[in-house]
Amino acid sequence: MFKKVSLLFLFSVGFLMLKAQEKIPFRITKYNNIIVKTLVNDKDSLDLMFQIAMEGGSISPERQRKADHIIFKDEISENNTVKIGKLIIKNVQFFDNELTGHEADGKIGTGIFAGKTFKIDYDNNQFGIYDKMPDLKGYESMPLFSENGQFYIVADNVIDNEQQEVYFLLQSGYSGGILYSNKFADGKELDKKLKITGEKTLKNSAGQSVITKQGVLPFLKLGNLVLKDVSAGFFAGDLKTQKVSYFGADLLRRFIWIFDAERKTVYFKPSKYFKEPYYKLN
């Protein structure tokens, strides 16, 4: 279903000091988003949300800080330089007017790690960047599927006492746990088979309704690790535009992740958040 492809190299990466490992601190918001402090074109200090589902960067129209030195043409800005700690990333492409997470001026993607193995360490609030594979003691592994710069994994879902395999897009911009695609939600009759804990209805100008429902997935199995009573959302109503299933930020934070340089394998183990209460969407 998914074609394994190499990352598009939108970035050329250089280091002020070449090391086997570089560490980049981040903070986690109450919405489960990762925020990194950046300096763009040596002028603009921006808080950018790390978005694992993209390679490049973007600037939000609702930003709190100025981005006057990012020059856009047709809402695209080329050849920018971004500094994150000691890391310097050149030739960064930014898109303009893309909404982002709370407390962020925009987004930055996985291109900052191009050609490198990288770790998302939620225990220590930092990224690790490696020239060689780090110690993998205690980690499990699974295939990583890449498509258009986005990453997918496979996890088993237990619904109505049946185990269902689902391809999930890793989506750090979605604060919740699981968000199922319309195809899966309709095909598996989630409206009937999941315990529904909440529902909201919105209508557009044409009177079409968008219904969001929150439910509880009894078990989600990632490798040999099992999460219980996972928060799971899906759409109903007239408008159904969710084409893929999300593995959201609330689930991502429950693991420490290592992505190999080829983006073909991901390694994971429980983080300190593994048994924390699930995030409740407003």
Give the CATH number, domain containing residue 106: 2.40.70.10
Pairwise CA distance, residues 93 & 84, whole Å: 16
Clarify whether residues 117 and 145 are in a common domain.
Answer: no
List the 117-121 sheet strands across, edge first.
21-25, 126-130, 117-121, 255-259, 265-270, 140-143
Whether 180 and 92 map to the same domain: the answer is: no
Asked if residue 204 and residue 102 are part of one domain, the reply reads: no
Q: What is the per-residue pLDDT across 220-278, written as a single tens digit (0 to 9) for each?
A: 999 999 999 999 999 887 777 889 999 999 999 999 999 999 999 999 999 999 999 99
How does the average pLDDT of the chain come out, rounded? Answer: 89
| Residue 4, domain member (yes or no) | no
- pLDDT (mean) for 174-198: 93
Say what the pLDDT of residue 3 is.
43
- What is this structure's pTM? 0.89
In a domain, 278, yes or no: no
Answer yes or no: do 109 and 150 share one domain. no
In a domain, 135, yes or no: no
Residue 38, in any domain of the structure: yes
Domains in the chain, number = 2
Beta-ladder partners of 210: 202, 237
Q: Domain boundary at 108, 130, 152, which?
A: 130
**247 and 167 in a common domain:** yes
Range of the domain at 183: 140-270
Q: Going by C-beta distance under 8 Å and a sequence separation of 6 or more, which residues neighbour residue 60?
A: 97, 98, 99, 100, 104, 105, 106, 107
Are residues 162 and 120 located together in one domain of the fold?
Answer: no
Phi–psi pair at 77, nearest 5 degrees: -125, 125
In this structure, the answer to whether residues 75 and 174 fall within a common structural domain is: no
pLDDT tens digits, 59-71:
999 999 999 999 9
Please tell me whether residues 219 and 246 are part of one structural domain. yes
Which secondary structure element, helix H or strand E, spans residue 179, and what is its range? strand 178-179
45: Cα separation from own chain's centroid: 23
Last residue of one domain, picked from the residues 89, 108, 130: 130
